[in-house]
């Protein structure tokens, strides 16, 4: 009996071992008479400025149906040789020929790229640059594709500029590289094919599921494939990581599907289903599912609580020198400073931008006080040194409150305290409004790495300050005498590839959420200091300040370089 059991167990193991990766090509991966064949041409890439000193091989596939007068769709593959080789595990040119001939995917020019090699044209002593290029998070590889590869081939072929008609894919580390390109540049690529994707901790890829859950949904369509016998090593568990990716993408409302086979870390399963994968990627647009809230703890702050299901950024005005000092009044009118022209603008509720105070002050921060005066901190303007001033909304008369100061941004409490950030000194300084003009501002907090944005909680009991040169948002309680206590690094800003967060302007909503502009976007935190998510800025120029204003104070206005934008939210200002 024991021998029979052992034999049965051995047979089960043997059958399972044979089943893993026991995938066969279907007819879409075979050549057929009468199907026009595209042309594959090899090329070398040796002059990269994004990855200097690298050499790489590449191939470009041009379908027989391509016409120079019509823009062609584009698909880029990482580890290109494995996809281009008609005797390999993918046979992409054959699959493309068959699907394009039947109209199951558009006429598509495909670029097959190998990773870079450091050294003399990949010769002896050369080192593979694959892991650095593919596994790293950030925009470097995306810049290589979008700024070097695509422009080059756009000069040779009529490539579409429509991101909906651009796809990118890869296996293993090449798969996470493909996702990273689309994640960083959804304005360039919106379709992702990931086979046995390495969303593990090789160079931080395990962070993607958490980032996806707390980032405003990007317009991406993602096909995930993996095998239940894929890797499980020091970097992570591949099948589990891909399941986490699918779960996060579904939570955030993405167009995603996940096919899990029984294979290992190879291209056999992905190659066998490549025709179906491409059909799914190139299928017509479908309505996106609603993001989930999953508020299991009765207090979680997912982005869906503040972002409407439709609508986005609306341009309010443009053509300014440099916009900053976003501010709203009690009626919902919006004010901002054109720093480049020392002018304060006003956007009345339901109105258009109009000059409110021309050539008055070069304000980097504006806030209304409890008595209705507009307070400003200013920057050097010719021979005029920085100041703290008050502006009468009726007469536009300017009263100097403090001189010989170096302020950046400010907050004003209902109790009569004005706080401003001194970025160079790393301090928060406080000025009692009752004694303004007769007393010097005093430092009430120190040791902050480039304090910048500053905001009070809706009840005025707490003060928060963002670090431009660090990663924290500091949090303090406000004592009755205006002094600050209980200093904590209360919120942690999401970082990008840059060494600092760029934490800048800050505001709060009626629920006590904090909104902070940064290099990563507009970061939202709940009143407990937990990140709820990152709202995408209107463009790549970066937002410096923001405020609630407009009808019902339900619009979030942002100063964005030479422009001002706004977006309707499901919350409102205090």
**At 296, is the pLDDT very low, low, confident or very high (cuts 50, 70, 90)?**
low
Window from 8-22, 121-135, 511-525 with minimum mean pLDDT: 8-22
In this structure, the number of other CB atoms found within 10 A of the CB of residue 31 comes to 12
**What is the C-alpha separation between 257 and 278, in angstroms, rounded?**
12
* pLDDT tens digits, one per residue of 298-317: 678 889 999 999 999 999 99
| Site of tokens 């977006």 | 567
End-to-end CA distance of the chain: 77
pLDDT for residue 434 = 86
Identify the bridge partners of residue 111 per DSSP, sorted by sequence position: 60, 76
Host H or E run for residue 115:
none
User: SS3 sequence, 264-285?
Assistant: CCCCHHHHHCHHHHHHHHCCCC
pLDDT the model gives residue 292: 82
Q: Is this model's pTM higher than 0.85 or not?
A: yes
Going by their DSSP bridges, the two strands 472-478 and 484-492 should be labelled as antiparallel
> Half-sphere exposure (CA, 13 Å, Cβ side) for 28?
20
pLDDT at 16: 46
Model confidence at 499: pLDDT above 80: yes
Residue 181 reports pLDDT greater than 90: yes
Tell me the pLDDT tens digit for each residue of 469-486: 999 999 999 999 999 999
Mean pLDDT of 354-377: 96
The three state secondary structure string of 154-215 is HHHCCECCCHHHEEEEEECHHHHHHHHHHHHCCCCCCEEEEECCCCCCCCCHHHHHHHHHCE
pLDDT at 226 over 70: yes
Q: How many whole angstroms separate alpha carbon 379 and alpha carbon 361? A: 8
Q: How much is the average pLDDT of 459-465?
A: 98
pLDDT, tens only, 96-148: 999 999 999 999 999 999 999 997 644 455 799 999 999 999 999 999 999 99
Tens of pLDDT, residue by residue over 44-83, are: 999 999 999 999 999 999 999 999 999 999 999 999 999 9
Spell out the domains of the chain, with CATH numbers in brackets.
39-281 (3.40.50.1820), 303-568 (2.120.10.30)
Closest CA to 361 of 373, 376, 348: 376
Strand pairing category for 462-467 and 451-456? antiparallel
Alpha-carbon gap, residue 306 to 324, rounded angstroms:
24
19 band by pLDDT with thresholds 50, 70 and 90: low
Q: Starting at the earlier edge strand, list the strands of the sheet with 521-525.
A: 506-508, 514-518, 521-525, 531-535
């Amino acid at each position: 009996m024991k021998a029979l059991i052992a034999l049965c167990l051995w047979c089960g193991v043997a059958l399972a071992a044979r089943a893993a990766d026991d995938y066969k090509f279907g007819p879409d991966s075979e050549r057929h008479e009468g199907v026009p064949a595209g042309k594959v041409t090899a090329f070398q890439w040796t002059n990269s400025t994004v990855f200097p000193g690298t050499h790489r091989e590449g191939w470009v596939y041009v379908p027989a149906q391509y016409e120079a007068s019509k823009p062609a769709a584009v698909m880029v593959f990482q580890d290109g040789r494995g996809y281009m080789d008609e005797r390999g595990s993918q046979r992409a040119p054959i699959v493309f020929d068959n699907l394009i001939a039947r109209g199951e995917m558009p006429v598509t020019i495909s670029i097959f790229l190998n990773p870079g090699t450091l050294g003399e044209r990949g010769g002896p002593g050369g080192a593979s640059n694959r892991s650095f290029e593919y596994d790293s998070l950030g925009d470097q590889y995306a810049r290589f594709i979008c700024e070097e590869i695509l422009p080059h081939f756009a000069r040779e072929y009529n490539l579409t500029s429509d991101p909906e008609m651009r796809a990118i894919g890869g296996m293993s580390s090449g798969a996470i590289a493909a996702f990273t390109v689309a994640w960083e540049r959804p304005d360039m690529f919106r379709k992702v094919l990931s086979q046995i994707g390495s969303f593990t901790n090789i160079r931080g890829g395990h962070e993607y599921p958490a980032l996806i859950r707390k980032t405003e949904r990007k317009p991406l369509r993602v096909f995930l494939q993996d095998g239940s016998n894929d890797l499980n090593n020091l970097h992570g568990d591949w099948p589990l990581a891909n399941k986490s990716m699918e779960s996060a993408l579904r939570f955030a409302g993405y167009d995603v599907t996940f096919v899990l086979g029984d294979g290992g870390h190879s291209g056999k399963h992905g190659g066998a289903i490549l025709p179906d994968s491409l059909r799914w990627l190139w299928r017509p647009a479908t309505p996106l599912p609603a993001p989930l809230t999953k508020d299991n703890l009765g207090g979680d702050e997912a982005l869906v609580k503040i972002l409407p299901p439709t609508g986005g950024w609306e341009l309010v005005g443009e053509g300014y020198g440099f916009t900053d000092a976003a501010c709203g009044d009690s009626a919902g009118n919006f004010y901002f400073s054109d720093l480049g022209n020392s002018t304060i603008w006003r956007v009345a509720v339901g109105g258009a931008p109009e000059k409110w105070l021309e050539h008055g002050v070069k304000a980097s921060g504006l806030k209304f006080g409890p008595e209705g005066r507009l307070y400003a901190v200013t920057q050097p303007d010719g021979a005029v040194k920085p100041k703290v001033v008050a502006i009468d909304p009726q007469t536009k008369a300017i009263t100097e409150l403090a001189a010989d100061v170096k302020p950046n941004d400010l907050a004003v409490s209902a109790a009569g305290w004005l706080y401003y950030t001194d970025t160079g000194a790393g301090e928060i300084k406080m000025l009692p409004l009752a004694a303004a003009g007769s007393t010097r501002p005093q430092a009430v907090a120190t040791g902050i790495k480039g304090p910048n944005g500053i905001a009070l909680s809706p009840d005025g009991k707490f003060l928060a300050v963002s670090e431009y040169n660090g990663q924290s948002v500091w949090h303090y309680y406000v004592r009755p005498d205006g002094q600050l206590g209980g200093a904590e690094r209360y919120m942690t800003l999401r970082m990008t590839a840059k060494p600092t967060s760029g934490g800048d302007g800050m505001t709060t909503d009626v629920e006590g959420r904090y909104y902070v502009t940064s290099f990563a976007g507009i970061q939202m935190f709940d009143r407990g200091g937990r990140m709820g998510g990152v709202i995408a800025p209107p463009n790549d120029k970066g937002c410096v300040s923001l405020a609630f204003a407009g009808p019902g104070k339900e619009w979030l206005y942002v100063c964005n370089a030479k422009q001002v934008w706004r977006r309707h939210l499901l919350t409102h200002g205090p």
